[in-house]
Chains A and B, each alone.
Chain A
Amino acid sequence: MFHAPALRSWISSSRSPIIMASKSKTHRLHQLSGTALQSIAKRPRTITTESYMKDAFANYAGYLNELNEKRERVVKSSRDITINSKKVIFQVHRISRDNKEEVLKKAEADLEAVKDQYISRLVKELQGTDFWKLRRAYSPGVQEYVEAATFCKFCRTGTLLDLEELNAGLLPLSDPAIEPLQINVFDYLLGLADLTGELMRLAIGRISDGELEFAEKICRFSRDIYRELTLVVPLMDNNSDMKTKMDTMLQSVLKIENACLSVHVRGSEYTLLGSSDPSFLMGVPDMQS
Chain B
Amino acid sequence: MTGGETDAPASMEKQFEDFRVKLDEAGSLRERIRAVVNEIESITRLMHASLLHVHQSRPLSEVLEKPKAQVDGLKELYGRLAEVLCECPGEYYRFHNDWRSETQTVVSLLAFMHWLETGKLLMHTEAEEKLGMNQAEFALDIEDYLIGLCFLSNEMPRYVVNQVLAGNYDCPRKVLRFLTDLHAAFRMLNLRNDFLRKKFDSLKYDLKRVEEVYYDMKIRHLANGDSAEDNGTQGQS
Partner-B contacts on A (CB < 8 A): 1-9, 24, 27, 29-30, 33, 47, 49-50, 52-54, 56-58, 60-61, 63-65, 68, 130-133, 135, 159-160, 162-164, 179, 185, 189, 213, 216, 220, 224-225, 227-229, 231-232, 235-238, 260, 264
Contacts and interface: CB of A to CB of B under 8 A. Distances in A.
Interface of A is mostly: helix
B90 A50 contact: no
Contact of A49 (B13, B15, B97, B177): B177
A158 to B, nearest CB: 9
B142 A47 contact: no
Contact of A4 (B121, B137, B190): B137
Nearest to B2: A216
A114 B151 CA distance: 45
Interface stretch (B3-11, B59-67, B70-78, B155-163): B3-11
8 contacts: A4-B93, A7-B124, A49-B120, A52-B123, A132-B96, A224-B8, A235-B23, A237-B26
Q: Give the size category of B's interface with A.
A: 35 or more
Contact of A5 (B23, B26, B141): B141
B166 interface: no
A132 B9 CA distance: 32
A220 B92 contact: no
B191 interface: yes
Given A185-B23, A235-B20, A33 B188 contact: yes
Contact of A6 (B1, B23, B96, B136): B136
B220 interface: no
B182 A53 contact: yes
A260 B94 CA distance: 42
Contacts, number: 143
B19 interface: yes
Contact of B23 (A130, A133, A164, A232): A232
A6 B5 CA distance: 53
Contacts of A237: 26-27, 30, 94
Given A3-B136, A60-B124, 9 more contacts: A2-B92, A3-B137, A4-B138, A56-B121, A56-B185, A61-B189, A216-B4, A224-B12, A231-B16
A264 B1 CA distance: 7
A129 to B, nearest CB: 9
B142 A228 contact: no
Interface of B: 1-2, 4-5, 8-9, 11-13, 15-16, 19-20, 22-24, 26-27, 30, 89-94, 96-97, 120-121, 123-125, 134, 136-139, 141-143, 146, 177-178, 181-182, 184-192, 231-232
A6 B27 CA distance: 27
A52 B177 CA distance: 14
A166 to B, nearest CB: 11
B124 A132 contact: no
Contact of B1 (A4, A33, A216, A238): A216
A132 B189 CA distance: 24
Contact of B11 (A4, A53, A159, A231): A159
A231 B16 CA distance: 9
A75 B139 CA distance: 25
B188 A58 contact: yes
Contacts of A232: 16, 19-20, 23
B232 A49 contact: yes
B185 A57 contact: yes
A49 B231 contact: yes
A159 B139 CA distance: 44
Contacts of A57: 185-186, 188-189
A248 B138 CA distance: 39
B12 A235 contact: no
A271 B165 CA distance: 94
B141 A60 contact: no
B150 to A, nearest CB: 13
Given A64-B142, A64-B190, A132-B92, A236 B23 contact: yes
B90 A131 contact: yes
A24 B23 CA distance: 41
Nearest to B232: A49
Contacts of B12: 159-160, 162, 224-225, 228
Contacts of A27: 188, 190
A8 B141 CA distance: 12
Most chain B beta-carbon neighbours within 10 Å: one of A4, A47, A232: A4
Contact of B90 (A2, A189, A236, A238): A2
Given A7-B124, A57-B185, A132 B91 contact: yes
Contacts of B188: 27, 29-30, 33, 54, 57-58, 61
